[in-house]
Chain A
Amino acid sequence: MEHYNMSLHLKVWRQNNSRDKGHFENYKVDGISSEMSFLEMFDVLNERLITEGKEPIAFDHDCREGICGMCSMYINGKPHGPWKSNTVCQLHMRAYKDGDTIVVEPWRANAFPVIKDLMVDRSAFDRIVQAGGYISVNTGNAVDGNSLPIEKDKADASFAAAMCIGCGACVAACKNSSAMLFLSAKVAHLALLPQGEPERKKRVVSMVAQMDKEGFGACTNTGACEATCPKDISLSNIARLNQEYLIASLTADK
């Protein structure tokens, strides 16, 4: 792979705290190598800002491997930037060329208030899980792992849903700020397994109720979530969720 250096114009959202109104600020960055990751480009800019006596830009990140779900930047109108099936920490600068302008904003959704600059509060997701995104089994209660065979296809489908990293890009991409893709991934992960069966109905009803309470919008089947999801969580999970919800609401024993 050939590498090259570039200069870029950045327009970055700055906001002191959740009460502050916030604004865009412009930065020019030079000497960015195509081998850098997008966040490393931000590291370079932040080092410069600190040296100049200015406040660095706050952003969430941790693993930088596309798995913790912490990073969250809305880049030129796309959560996680231009690459498909990708998180922003795995986006590399070879996606850009010299002279490009890049606009970077936080996730925008009522249920995700901005904490500072590009950092938002996604604790609503934890509360949705608290509402039932688990199997109620205490430590020590388990039977042998092979006592209940699970069809490979089902196990694989459950795994595909469980790959969700809880990043919230689906919400950021949705014009209604709906959390349906996230929620459906959790519901599908557990509903596809025999272990998840006993709490299946109760789980879906109470998780949906919590989602509504958190102020996420309704799903209008636009599919922007699936297109932006770094882990390729499929829209079919939403269909499954709707089905699960319908069955649960129709049968009395919630």
Chain B
Amino acid sequence: MLDAKIPAGPLDDKWTDYKGHCKLVNPANKRKLEIIIVGTGLAGASAAASLGELGYKVKAFCFQDSPRRAHSIAAQGGINAAKNYQNDGDSVFRLFYDTIKGGDYRARESNVHRLAEVSANIIDQCVAQGVPFAREYGGMLSNRSFGGTQVQRTFYAAGQTGQQLLIGAYQALERQVALGNVKMYTRHEMLEVVMIDGKARGIIARNLVNGELEKHFGHAVLLCTGGYGNVFYLSTNAMGSNVTAAWKAHKQGAAFANPCFTQIHPTCIPVSGDHQSKLTLMSESLRNDGRIWVPKKQGDNRKATDIPEEERDYYLERRYPAFGNLVPRDVASRAAKERCDAGYGVGTSKQAVYLDFAAAIERYGKTEVGKLGKDNVSQEEVIELGKEVVKEKYGNLFDMYEKITGENPYEVAMRIYPAVHYTMGGLWVDYELQTTVPGLYCLGEANFSDHGANRLGASALMQGLADGYFVIPYTIGNYLADEIYSKAISTDHPGFAQAEKEVRDRINKLMSIKGKQTVESFHKRLGKIMWDKCGMARNEEGLTQAIAEIQALKKEFWSDVKIPGSINEMNPELDKAGRVADFIELGELMCKDALDRNESCGGHFREESQTPEGEAMRDDANYMYVSAWEFKGESDWELHKEPLLYDVVKPSQRNYK
């Protein structure tokens, strides 16, 4: 069932060779080929713009009121590229190697190498579109460093990199809309993939403003629908982020790969109470300058500023002297959990650690004093100057922290705790980004392809744009070249009617339950099961329990959920109910996958598989594969394994000590 279609030949040449030999579609035929793109975040907007430019007829869909609002907009820290502008030893190979290693040797070499190869083109493309990246005084692009690497290859626009990149892609997309090459459907939610003769041929979408179901044909369908972190209820994802599109595709035959690979980000603002609706990320870039610590004494209730230096435990610097505060995310998150579980946590909930800028402020202050050539400067002045520098670098993040917590992080150490952030798992795709369903492609966070068991910071934006700008324009041609004789199928075809009926029946079923419990309450309960038993640490007993609990929750949902309003109107609760129903099913599969993988790798930590010092222990002999799950029926999946072959990189235990 799984043919990754990895081109033959040396790793360095695969992509070039592929491009040189893939089939092409001539311009006159492109105009006759229709492509549906679901999702217009970085992956979808870049794909829609590029395919529109090529001359294909594109229809693009998103559930927000404008493509500019996709969740990609929230990315803060930056985007990686192997430009080596800093002359610090970066190269395509190093970016490739870091990504493979950071992913704990659970990603496909060929895909990751291609990603590193096109990374530089992404920066060029974005600059040409007018993305105002940060620059040095000489006018050149500026870089910063990010976790899990030892070079500076991250491009950024203050703390709003995702916003600037998305606006670039959005503008390119709107240009194609204006030219008539792309038709944009906002406030639409795709609810089914239409299958005709074994191929994906369209979608059923619900117009969220009036509740009407619509049928749309495409010679190919691209899902660019983002990640599913909201299965945990609380995450750093936007409120609307969901798995529905990918899940519907999964039920139509698309294998779901590595569903349990979840990234828990180490630096988020801690939960403040039961009312919490989402969690806010504090960019990883803060770890460049902030130092993470907890008191050396358990249950220490003193204020951070009252705890003297020698009574602080800078546990990352202690455990991982080589990388210190810049260890990869999974390592940093587990270390925070370990300290808090052991009773060293801070704040009222004790589920938090400090991220402290005092040392950085002083260090920068002294540098400034040096620049000004002053002596006899008071400590206060040094601190003031240092604060200015920190403000310039992280001002918007500090403001955000203060708005949420009411505390001033220039004066008191920030409190942070890990939170669900990104999902490495997703629809299985081959080298061409095609799922196991012919004609159905998956791009961006929604696919599983490049990050293995852990994603390095600043590489999701890179992947989304690589997929959309530079990969799909080639690989889709290879499929569509054989479709030039297929006429557009009328949406009166029974395949469409059948799919539409299924969607309608399901909506009717949801609305007819008329139970007593709200959608939100089910979502919260699912999230709690997932966080407690399929979160930062997992074990056989917990996962087995979780599966039983989720199955019970599913029954309860389908017999007691309460959805107000009606079908043929705007009804956000109904939209949410459909998404939560899919999350429940996905949650079960995630636990099943986590149970199958009795090793620790990347973000997946099985308590049964650790070293005596508590570090994750991979098991390459037994688990060097991608788990691709085929849907068979209710609570029934078949596992297919794609073996991972490392021709170039020699897998070793990751060591950040």
Render B395-439 as a binary contact track against A, CB cut-off 8 A, 1 for contact.
000011001111100000000000000000000000000000000
Complex Cα gap A152–B132 (Å): 10
Check if A50 sits within 8 Å of B562, measured CB to CB: yes
Complex Cα gap A151–B141 (Å): 10
Does A33 touch B at the CB level, under 8 Å? yes
Tell me the residues in window 567-583 of chain B with beta carbons closer than 8 Å to chain A beta carbons.
569-570, 572-573
Q: Find the A residue at minimum CB distance from B276.
A: A40
- Stretch of B123-131, B189-197, B353-361, B481-489 on the interface side: B123-131
Complex Cα gap A163–B479 (Å): 39
Complex Cα gap A195–B178 (Å): 20
Q: Which residues of A contact B239 (CB under 8 A)?
A: 61-64
Tell me the residues in window 167-214 of chain A with beta carbons closer than 8 Å to chain B beta carbons.
189-190, 193, 195-196
Check if B132 sits within 8 Å of A158, measured CB to CB: yes
CB of A151 to closest CB in B, whole Å: 6
Complex Cα gap A47–B518 (Å): 7
- Stretch of A115-123, A215-223, A238-246 on the interface side: A115-123
CB of A56 to closest CB in B, whole Å: 6
Does B301 touch A at the CB level, under 8 Å? no
CB of B565 to closest CB in A, whole Å: 6
Does A65 touch B at the CB level, under 8 Å? yes
With contacts A62-B69, A135-B130, A142-B128 taken as known, whether A115 is within 8 angstroms of B570 at the C-beta atoms is: yes
- Stretch of B168-176, B215-223, B286-294 on the interface side: B168-176
Does B249 touch A at the CB level, under 8 Å? no
Q: Which residues of B contact A189 (CB under 8 A)?
A: 130, 132
With contacts A64-B277, A136-B175, A145-B83 taken as known, whether A190 is within 8 angstroms of B74 at the C-beta atoms is: no
Check if B275 sits within 8 Å of A33, measured CB to CB: yes
CB of B576 to closest CB in A, whole Å: 10
Does B66 touch A at the CB level, under 8 Å? yes
Does A162 touch B at the CB level, under 8 Å? yes
Complex Cα gap A17–B68 (Å): 24
Check if A17 sits within 8 Å of B74, measured CB to CB: no
Complex Cα gap A148–B138 (Å): 11
CB of B155 to closest CB in A, whole Å: 8
CB of A92 to closest CB in B, whole Å: 7
Does A25 touch B at the CB level, under 8 Å? no
Does A250 touch B at the CB level, under 8 Å? no
Does A251 touch B at the CB level, under 8 Å? no
Check if A56 sits within 8 Å of B573, measured CB to CB: yes
Check if B130 sits within 8 Å of A139, measured CB to CB: no
Does B65 touch A at the CB level, under 8 Å? yes
Check if B128 sits within 8 Å of A195, measured CB to CB: yes
Between B125, B186, B403, B570, the greatest number of chain A beta carbons within 10 A of the residue's beta carbon is seen for B403
Cross-interface CB contact of A64 among B70, B73, B238, B275, cutoff 8 Å:
B238
Q: Which residues of A contact B158 (CB under 8 A)?
A: 159
Check if A50 sits within 8 Å of B123, measured CB to CB: no
Check if A130 sits within 8 Å of B85, measured CB to CB: no
For the A-B complex, the count of residue pairs with Cβ-Cβ distances under 8 Å equals 218
Q: Find the B residue at minimum CB distance from A32.
A: B275
Cross-interface CB contact of B50 among A39, A49, A139, cutoff 8 Å:
A139
Check if A135 sits within 8 Å of B564, measured CB to CB: no
Check if A134 sits within 8 Å of B65, measured CB to CB: no
Cross-interface CB contact of A146 among B140, B162, B178, B209, cutoff 8 Å:
B140
Q: Which residues of A contact B140 (CB under 8 A)?
A: 146, 149
CB of B265 to closest CB in A, whole Å: 14
Complex Cα gap A166–B171 (Å): 13
Does A74 touch B at the CB level, under 8 Å? no
Check if A60 sits within 8 Å of B65, measured CB to CB: yes
Complex Cα gap A150–B158 (Å): 16
With contacts A58-B570, A195-B127 taken as known, whether A39 is within 8 angstroms of B175 at the C-beta atoms is: no
Does A86 touch B at the CB level, under 8 Å? yes
Does A106 touch B at the CB level, under 8 Å? no
Complex Cα gap A131–B53 (Å): 17
With contacts A50-B518, A129-B174 taken as known, whether A145 is within 8 angstroms of B127 at the C-beta atoms is: yes
Check if B128 sits within 8 Å of A141, measured CB to CB: yes
Q: State the majority secondary structure of interface residues on A.
A: loop
Check if A151 sits within 8 Å of B139, measured CB to CB: yes
Cross-interface CB contact of A55 among B128, B160, B562, B564, cutoff 8 Å:
B564
Does B177 touch A at the CB level, under 8 Å? yes
Check if B139 sits within 8 Å of A152, measured CB to CB: yes
CB of A241 to closest CB in B, whole Å: 16
Complex Cα gap A133–B178 (Å): 11
Render B68-102 as a binary contact track against A, CB cut-off 8 A, 1 for contact.
11110110000000010100000000000000000
Q: Find the B residue at minimum CB distance from A2.
A: B406
Check if A150 sits within 8 Å of B562, measured CB to CB: no
With contacts A139-B50, A139-B469, A139-B473 taken as known, whether A40 is within 8 angstroms of B69 at the C-beta atoms is: no
Does B272 touch A at the CB level, under 8 Å? yes
Check if A69 sits within 8 Å of B171, measured CB to CB: no
Q: Find the A residue at minimum CB distance from B136.
A: A152
Does B321 touch A at the CB level, under 8 Å? no
Complex Cα gap A121–B209 (Å): 10
Does B163 touch A at the CB level, under 8 Å? yes
Does A79 touch B at the CB level, under 8 Å? no
Complex Cα gap A144–B139 (Å): 14
Q: Which residues of B contact A146 (CB under 8 A)?
A: 83, 85, 140-141
Check if A63 sits within 8 Å of B238, measured CB to CB: yes
Cross-interface CB contact of A35 among B135, B273, B281, cutoff 8 Å:
B273
Check if A139 sits within 8 Å of B73, measured CB to CB: no
Render A25-62 as a binary contact track against B, CB cut-off 8 A, 1 for contact.
00000000101110110011001011101111010111
Between B132, B133, B175, B405, the greatest number of chain A beta carbons within 10 A of the residue's beta carbon is seen for B132
Does A108 touch B at the CB level, under 8 Å? no
Check if A62 sits within 8 Å of B134, measured CB to CB: no
Apart from A129-B174, A130-B174, A166-B69, 6 more pairs, CB < 8 Å: A17-B570, A51-B562, A65-B400, A126-B68, A130-B178, A139-B49
A-B contact pairs, 24 of them (CB 8 A): A47-B521, A50-B564, A63-B73, A65-B281, A69-B69, A94-B406, A126-B68, A126-B186, A129-B174, A134-B174, A136-B175, A137-B172, A139-B46, A142-B127, A146-B83, A149-B139, A155-B132, A158-B132, A159-B164, A162-B164, A163-B160, A165-B163, A190-B130, A195-B129
Interface residues of B (CB under 8 A from A): 46, 49-50, 53, 64-71, 73-74, 83, 85, 121, 123-130, 132-141, 157-158, 160, 162-164, 167, 170-172, 174-175, 177-178, 184, 186, 209, 238-240, 272-273, 275-278, 280-281, 399-400, 403-407, 469-470, 473, 518, 520-521, 562, 564-565, 569-570, 572-573
